[in-house]
Chains A and B, each alone.
Chain A
Amino acid sequence: MSDVDFRLTDDQRALRQGMRELLDGRFGREALRAAADADGLDRELWRELGEAGLFTLRVPEADGGVGLGLPEAVLVFEEAGRALVPGPLVATHLAGARAEPGSVVTAVWEEGGLVDHLADADYVLAGDGLLPAEPVRAAAEPVRSVDPLTPLHRSAGTAGPRAVHEAALLTAALQLGTAGWAMDAAVAYAKEREQFGRPIGSFQAVQHLCARLLVRAEPARAAVYAAAVTGDPGEIAAAKLLADEAAVAGMRDCLQVHGGMGFTWEADVHLHLKRAWLRAEQWQRAGVAEEELAAAL
């Protein structure tokens, strides 16, 4: 058997399937819409995600974690992205066993910049350490967030965290989940919606929009999975770039395929698009990733 192998092991498949089933049951469409109308995080769901290992997946078993690696983390984060789970998933995962089970850990995106879910947070990642959230909260101003599921504050004086590359990769995995959702939703709608007496998916212009969704998602998937295996900063920068594009441009095309329905608040399309915009600004923005890749040339 070759070592250049993207095929998932049985354990990896089972892990992904387990997360998908958990989220299908626990965070389906109704829960998503309820979360969009609610104030604050569902701490019960947060605890369940923690119990399922989402935040301690890479903590060694001796320290009470699951003892798995980045490839496994990427697979479960992709599922969380597809289900559009709200909350500071990446920061809480980075905190790992340093925060007690059930804690919500967020991070300042950059010094003086935005910070998500600060009202719900117990801790804030800063530098190499973990700060109590309260003083950070006291110095921050709320911002009216474009993403209904991600409350934002503007921080003051708190440093951003280290370990940006791992965070960027996990964020890329979330974006990959959104890119997959965009493709599935666009294709399903194109098959079902009829105009001029036939499904709109039989029109080449619509077909090509849908095909482009796959053409963006597949290279992004190869980049994200490869970066998870190598952990190479350059490959992670590429993964974040491609996954951001697959998610953002993918959701724009998904919205276009949905026509007028896509522009409504009632359709879920805008929730996924707005989160894709948000994640594109987190951890490693396009300009930063491009400069990192250019510097290595």
Chain B
Amino acid sequence: MELTDTPQEAAFRAELRAWLADVLPKLPPKPDPNDWPGRRAYDCGWQRMLYDAGYAGLQWPEDAGGRGATPIEHLIYLEETEAAGAPYVGAGFVGLLHAGPTIAAEGTPEQRRRWLHPILRGDEVWCQGFSEPDAGSDLASLRTRAVRDGDEYVISGSKIWTSHAEAADWCELLVRTDPEAKKHRGITWLAMPMDAPGVTVRPLRTLAGSTEFAEVFLDEVRVPVENRLGEENDGWRVSMVTLSFERGTAFAGEVVACRRTLRELAAAARANGRWDDPVLRRRLGRLSGEFGALWRLVQWNVSQGAPGPGGSVFKLRYSQARQELYEAAAAVLGPDALDWDQEWTADRLSSLSYTIAAGTTQIQLGIIAERILGLPKGR
């Protein structure tokens, strides 16, 4: 058991820290959350800066254009960018963290050439068309239909909870190509251009007030067969190649951010006098222990190798802790927590999605019970 940087890791950290100190002051001001063209430009601009400096696709394999960094270097990246207040991956999330790695793992040489480089450079934005109104946690029951017509698929149906749909150029889409097969079988993965005729995006307004995601309606959209990743009807497996990543280290940077928020909450409570309340003080103390342990758990999971079921434990615990953090923020603010323009109100609202998005708490508990603990299949 060791918890200090190797000389190589220390050098990576120092180089990154120096670069961040140099470039972050040159960033443009952050766009309004509802200004989608502005958000796209900002996020892609940041990605281009990373690309030019050699940090794009940090943990992607080198033959896919990435840096081939170790998981620990990836954690150092998340730690340092967060500490420096660098932008999040934002609109690049699906391309860099899911569609890209999936294409790198399953794509033909032509597909890798066509799609990977623009993701890394911040030239093209991807969104994810997986969930449907009647296929949420039970994703494999999806019904959006694709019928083969010569060299094309003709697609009709609808998708929901599609983040960044308004900014995206491409959609990694799961469609049903064989309605007769068992539900996990007849699914195919396609790359769909978002400007294809028949694609309609209807933004969904969340309880946090912004339009973080959208419904996507597909009416006889034509997609060339060459946009298919893997074999027809093998899309479930293709999409799962990297899905566990979402539950692994994807939130690691946010743990660092939560620890900073906690220090800000303590400062605010000291300033407004609520720090004198031992119940509130101890609540913040416990959260500090919790987030410290969550960071160690990330390191633990990474040191055990590939992201796997251990990510479910982290995801569950982190999503709960994040909600508790912003409940504590409300306790620090008191009645001012009802003022939408107070610093932590928007984050308190968005934290409500954490126990739902990327696998609800109840689904995660079931995964842990059956796949890790080996309990009999649930009812």
Could you list which residues of chain A lie within 8 angstroms of chain B, going by C-beta atoms?
1-9, 12, 71, 183, 187, 190-191, 198-199, 201-204, 206-208, 210-212, 214-215, 218-223, 225-226, 228-230, 234-235, 237-239, 241-242, 286-287, 289-297
Contacts and interface: CB of A to CB of B under 8 A. Distances in A.
Nearest to A238: B289
Contacts of B294: 219
A81 B223 CA distance: 60
Interface stretch (B100-108, B187-195, B362-370): B362-370
Task: Classify the interface of chain A: helix, strand, loop or mixed.
Answer: helix
Given A214-B368, A219-B297, A4 B2 contact: yes
B220 interface: no
A207 B288 CA distance: 29
A253 to B, nearest CB: 12
A290 B316 CA distance: 22
B169 interface: no
Given A2-B9, A3-B6, A207-B366, A218 B304 contact: no
Which of B2, B366, B369 counts the most chain A CB atoms within 10 A?
Answer: B369
Contact of A3 (B3, B293, B297, B365): B3
Contact of A190 (B284, B290, B313, B375): B375
Contact of B303 (A6, A187, A239, A287): A6
B6 A207 contact: no
A290 B317 CA distance: 19
A297 B1 contact: no
Interface string B303-345: 1100000100100110000000000000000000000000000
Contact of B266 (A183, A228, A287, A294): A294
A168 B218 CA distance: 60
B5 interface: yes
Contacts of A297: 262-263, 265-266, 284-285, 288
B9 A3 contact: yes
A241 B375 contact: no
Contacts of B290: 219, 238, 242
Interface string B64-107: 00000010100100000000000000000000000000000000
25 contacts: A2-B70, A4-B75, A5-B2, A6-B303, A7-B304, A202-B378, A207-B369, A211-B372, A215-B317, A218-B313, A219-B294, A220-B293, A223-B289, A225-B1, A225-B296, A229-B2, A229-B3, A234-B292, A235-B292, A238-B290, A239-B293, A286-B282, A290-B281, A290-B283, A290-B285
A201 B376 contact: yes
Interface in B6-51: 6, 9
Given A3-B4, A187-B375, A215-B368, A294 B292 contact: no
Contact of B296 (A1, A187, A222, A286): A222
Nearest to A207: B369
A198 B300 contact: no
Nearest to A204: B378
Contacts of B284: 294, 297
A258 to B, nearest CB: 15
B114 interface: no
A4 B72 contact: yes
A219 B291 CA distance: 10
A76 B313 CA distance: 25
Size class of the B contact interface (CB-based, 8 Å): 35 or more
A190 B378 CA distance: 12
A89 to B, nearest CB: 21
A2 B6 contact: yes
A1 B263 CA distance: 33
Given A3-B9, A12-B1, A71-B1, 11 more contacts: A4-B5, A6-B300, A7-B1, A191-B375, A207-B369, A211-B366, A218-B297, A218-B310, A223-B292, A292-B285, A294-B284
A214 B373 contact: yes
B299 interface: yes
Contacts of B303: 2, 4-7
Contacts of A242: 289-290, 293
B288 to A, nearest CB: 4
Contacts of B370: 207
Nearest to B275: A294
B317 A219 contact: yes
A13 B266 CA distance: 41
B374 A187 contact: yes
B113 interface: no
B282 A287 contact: yes
A143 to B, nearest CB: 27
A222 B289 contact: no
B182 interface: no
Given A5-B303, A214-B372, A215-B313, A291 B282 contact: yes
Contact of B286 (A207, A219, A241): A241
Contact of A201 (B300, B364, B375): B375
Given A2-B6, A223-B289, A234-B292, A207 B375 contact: yes
A214 B378 contact: no
Given A215-B368, A225-B1, A293-B288, A203 B281 contact: no
Residue from B266, B296, B373 whose CB has the most chain A CB atoms within 10 Å: B296
B373 to A, nearest CB: 5
B109 to A, nearest CB: 32
B278 to A, nearest CB: 8
B364 to A, nearest CB: 8
Given A3-B9, A187-B373, A238-B288, A211 B368 contact: yes
A222 B313 CA distance: 12
A226 B3 contact: yes
A179 B254 CA distance: 28
A204 B368 contact: no
Given A3-B2, A238-B292, A287-B282, A211 B373 contact: yes
A291 B280 CA distance: 10
Given A199-B376, A203-B378, A223-B296, A290 B286 contact: yes
